[in-house]
Chain A
Amino acid sequence: MTEEDTGGHKAPPVSSMKMVSKTVSNEQMKQNNENKILTKNRSLSQMKKREELAAYLFLSPYLISALVFTIGLLAFAFYISLNRWNIFTLPKFAGFTNYIKTFKSPDFLRSLLNVFWYSLVVVSFQTAIAILLAVILNKPVPGSSLFRTLFYAPSVTSSVVISMIFWWLYLKTGFLNLAIGKLLGVLHVAWKNIDWLNDPRGLFQLIAGLFGKKIPYSKWYFTGPSITWMAIMFQAIYTTSPTFMIMFLAALQNIPPSLYESASIDGASPWKQFTRITLPLLRPIIMMVVVLGTIGTLQLFDYVKIMTSGGPLGTTLVPVYLIYRETLGTEGPIRAGYGAAMAFILAAIIFIFTYLQRRFIERGTEHYF
């Protein structure tokens, strides 16, 4: 309601009052009503404003912290990425040199390739295994709650404990080599112990080796993920699959049983039911699991820091570990600007991946609901 509206309803001139007494009284009533509405509207708009203010007040603790600690820090990090900064003295403006340096750095490019393999393998396997486990546990078989607990146990175990257990399993004289050796021994095949956490031989190198070809280590982009890297991937899949299994389990329990009932009346086999009912209806959850998994894997840090420090021969180097190394100067001078530039490039890559995944997986989901 504006002032113009109120001005248009001023009282008519006195001379014409008698002639139009009825109309006047009608108009007065109308005006009174309108005035009432206006007042009501005004108080409504005031109330609305007050409400908005209250809402902002209630939101302010979060908004302020988001402004300072999320947006503020992002802006600060971006500013730093354009500077040379040792975190103690004043930053020196450097333009986009840090970004250019990042793209030229063989370490960074290598870490991207490493994390690409990691993401591809871990996300695919953990999603598939999680669906499989969830489908199995969703059947009302005796003891399913026990298995649910057992399968979920790795997810609630501390990552340090998991790392220690795997570290022992992976020793050159550890259980894994022993088990494989014994197993192959039965088949009279000799097994040479592998130093799982310190073996840079790449997957493609090994395959090429079978055909008598050799891929040198200097051509790191052709060697494929190393044995050590694959060992860590296995550990990650083992630890994270159960978490996602729980999500799938919850989603499965939301699928109306009537769909399966009618499908079975129509003569659909269990496999058909799985591919035509279960999987399509799980699509939103699959999409969420894949996106969360991709973001998580691209940000991998802890296993690398605890188990390999990026070795052997840089085959487990990941971007976040490099960012940590440069920003805190663990092996040389502190280069926070360079670290920040790497972080922004990584963020951009994560954004692109997530966007593409949404485009491909989310497409068509809504048809089912």
Chain B
Amino acid sequence: MKKIFVLLPTLAFVLSVSVAFAGGKQEQKPSAETTTVSKGAQPTSFTKIPVESKATIVFSGWGDQTEQKIYRDSIVRFNKIYPEVKVDYQPIPADFQTKIKAMVAGGTAPDVFYVDDQLMTALGMTGQLLPLDDYMKAANVSRKDFIVELLKIFTYKGKTYGLPKDWGTLGLVYLPETLEAAGVPEPNDNWNWDDLFNAAKKIASNTKFAGFVQNADWARFAPWAFEAGGSYTNSDYTKATLDTPEIKKAASYILNMKKAGALVTSSDVGASWAGEAIGKKVVAMTYEGGWMVNFMRQNYPDVKWKAAKVVKGLNGKRSDVIFTNAIGIISSTKYPKASAAFTIFVTSRENQAEIVKTGFAYSTHPDQIDLVQDPNDKQIAAGGLVGRVAYWGPNTGKINDQVSKALERIYLGAQTVDESFAEANKKVNEILSGQ
């Protein structure tokens, strides 16, 4: 499942939505609109900042052709406001993080590039990224303009090193026909753990479909863990909190589902990941994200699927996991102002409203969550309001790996829930103490 997460950025949160342009300017023609923005005649929240003359900046990100087009278009929009800045877009479709690290070490890094938790750890915490706070102030952009939770990863010692460009979360993705075949009503906002358990069990025993598919994966486990009141580490990321009743409660629930035959893994049903199992119509339900929209449209256009919010915990509370990436600037850039202008523009309300229109990603501004129109997308995106960013400090990757391994041991029946999470807890503490 881990590999799916490597693929996620490339599949990227593609959502089919139609949106209204922020500020009600939808009826404006693009050329007229941008001209007015640059002349400052239109009411807009966007403030232009002074930039270096004749600046040429290099911008790199990962992504397939769809994503590359989104950012080429963003550059065109940027140039309508900042015609004096030349942006050289150099996408790096594979091994992005490794390449960026090598380029930074070699002094050839792009000026502006995508930053995820791995790059934030490698570059943000070693002084390689430019703090953006002063430039944000100059452009009248505040941290509060963004969904605050998203900024958590990109903040270090009180400074902002990246502005979130998009985000994703999980929802309950299901095939209505499978529920109908089992005589189970479709999920609603009040479904909780028990409802999902019973529905999955009924489907698995009464139909040819498997009930619920979930692999031994830290990300898909996170909503259960959060709803049970658990967390992978303490709030300052110094101690593991995996050997707790909350985490074990969530893990026991998953294990019981598996024992009851209600939960399968994707390989059990001949799929490489849960989304594919839905596409192949071999399973009724799973927890997946907004990337399902594009995936299903491209690969299984005839399969009718729906999405609901992740189910509530037994205490009636709902929680979800959030994944996010930002755009940051290399500290050694020759053009910090032009780079900052570009970063602020690309992540601005104005530009994100245009990106959301393409169905590519959710906006990182809280007041733009409503722009999502498609009912399935809306259900998945709702997780963002109750979500927590999957970030546990510099060792996030290793901690997540230990959680996945703990789940794997439970899935295999190699260890009990108590044994497995006690072992994971010990290993994470070793990692956190630098051993």
Residues of A within 8 A of B (CB): 86-89, 101, 104, 171-174, 195, 198, 200-201, 216-218, 309, 311-314, 328-334
Contact = CB atoms under 8 A, between A and B. Distances in A.
30 contacts: A87-B101, A87-B105, A88-B122, A172-B268, A173-B270, A174-B270, A195-B267, A200-B414, A216-B415, A217-B409, A217-B415, A309-B2, A309-B3, A311-B2, A313-B408, A313-B409, A313-B414, A314-B405, A328-B97, A328-B98, A328-B101, A330-B97, A330-B118, A330-B397, A331-B398, A332-B121, A332-B431, A333-B394, A333-B395, A334-B101
B123 A331 contact: no
Contacts of A201: 412
Contact of A330 (B3, B98, B105, B267): B98
Nearest to A197: B267
Contacts of B415: 216-218
Interface in B219-268: 265, 267-268
Interface residues of B, number: 35
A329 B121 contact: yes
The secondary-structure label for the interface of chain A is loop
A177 to B, nearest CB: 10
Given A218-B423, A329-B118, A333-B121, A88 B104 contact: yes
Given A329-B122, A331-B397, A172 B270 contact: yes
B267 A198 contact: yes
Interface string B84-112: 00000000000001100100110000000
A85 to B, nearest CB: 10
B267 A172 contact: yes
Interface string B404-426: 01001100101100000001000
B366 interface: no
A331 B408 contact: no
Smallest CB-CB A-B distances: 7 pairs: A173-B270, A331-B397, A172-B267, A87-B105, A332-B395, A332-B398, A331-B398
Contacts of A195: 265, 267-268
B126 A88 contact: yes
A87 B105 CA distance: 6
A217 B424 CA distance: 13
A173 B269 contact: yes
B401 A331 contact: yes
Contacts of B104: 88
A73 B101 CA distance: 19
B127 interface: yes
Contact of A216 (B269, B395, B397, B414): B414
Contacts of A218: 415, 423
A45 B127 CA distance: 60
Contacts of B105: 87-88
A88 B101 CA distance: 9
